[in-house]
Structure 1
């Protein structure tokens, strides 16, 4: 009886973890709602930037392909110019004066001119030329002029 009473073991009291905020702070902490117009402008901006980047990349690819084809064409041009120069030299060698003389002497049996082959021809003294004009019956004055012209020529 005189002993102290035992206390009944009690569970420790739990602390309330709920924090109550005033309405103004509650509105500030809420997740923001996205406006449709803001989302649309953001998506359009992204698409425009992506399109510009894609166009730039496509242009660079086209530029690289054109550079490669230009290099190929330039190489082909230099090769063709070399072939043209070779053919032109062959052509000039075949049509040179010495080649023609050799061909004429070897193949055709011709020989260079010498004094035995030269013959002088004497022509009659004074060559005359005669110009024939069609006869027109214009009158006595034109006939007079024509006769004076013939006399002076």
Structure 2
């Protein structure tokens, strides 16, 4: 730093000091005099025009094209991602609700089937007992005598057949004479018959 004026910005004070009639020294400070009063009028020094202060800002893209090109793509992608997430969550919730509804319906069907099964078992027991009563020996005899007109077997109903021991079968059709080998085999069979 060459001097204090470069280190501090006294422009605010200069305007006020000029309005009140005070001068500044070489360093840009207010010159009040020795005892703190302004016993003399300070001499105005020629002042050089202050150099404009240049502050470099970060480079910005022009407001027009590039920023607008990137922003819609980014917003579009964010919106698409949000809709995708919403769709996934919505479909998961709907799947869970649908599963619960199906589970409830199937549970009701199972309960109805169990009730029908119990009724069928009860009916089976009743029908089995009725069938057992109808199939007893006494019931079969009663049905045979009353409905079919049957009775117990008597001696007059038995017929015996006597078969004579000498009965033989006769050949109705003669076979044609075959070869000498066939005749020899037939003769041997005849001896053992």
Pairing partner for 2:99 from 55, 59, 71: 59
Query: Is 1:111 matched with 2:187?
Result: no
Q: CA RMSD in A?
A: 3.5
Aligned to 2:79: 39
Q: Taking structure 1 as the reference length, what is the TM-score of the superposition?
A: 0.57
Q: Looking at CA atoms only, which structure, 1 or 2, has the larger radius of gyration?
A: 2
**Unpaired segments of 5 or more residues in structure 2?**
1-56, 58-70
Unaligned runs of 5+ in 1: 1-22, 24-32
SS in 1 for 2:152: coil
**Offset of residue 45 of structure 1:** 1.0
For normalisation by structure 2, the TM-score amounts to 0.47
Aligned position for 1:70 = 110
By relative contact order (CA 8 Å, sep 6+), the higher-ranking structure is: 2
One of 165, 173, 179 as aligned partner of 1:139: 179
Structure 2 CA distance for partners of 1:126 and 1:102, relative to 1, 3 Å: farther
Name the CA shift for 1:109/1:138 in 2 (closer, same or farther; >3 Å).
same
Secondary structure at 2:164 match in 1: coil
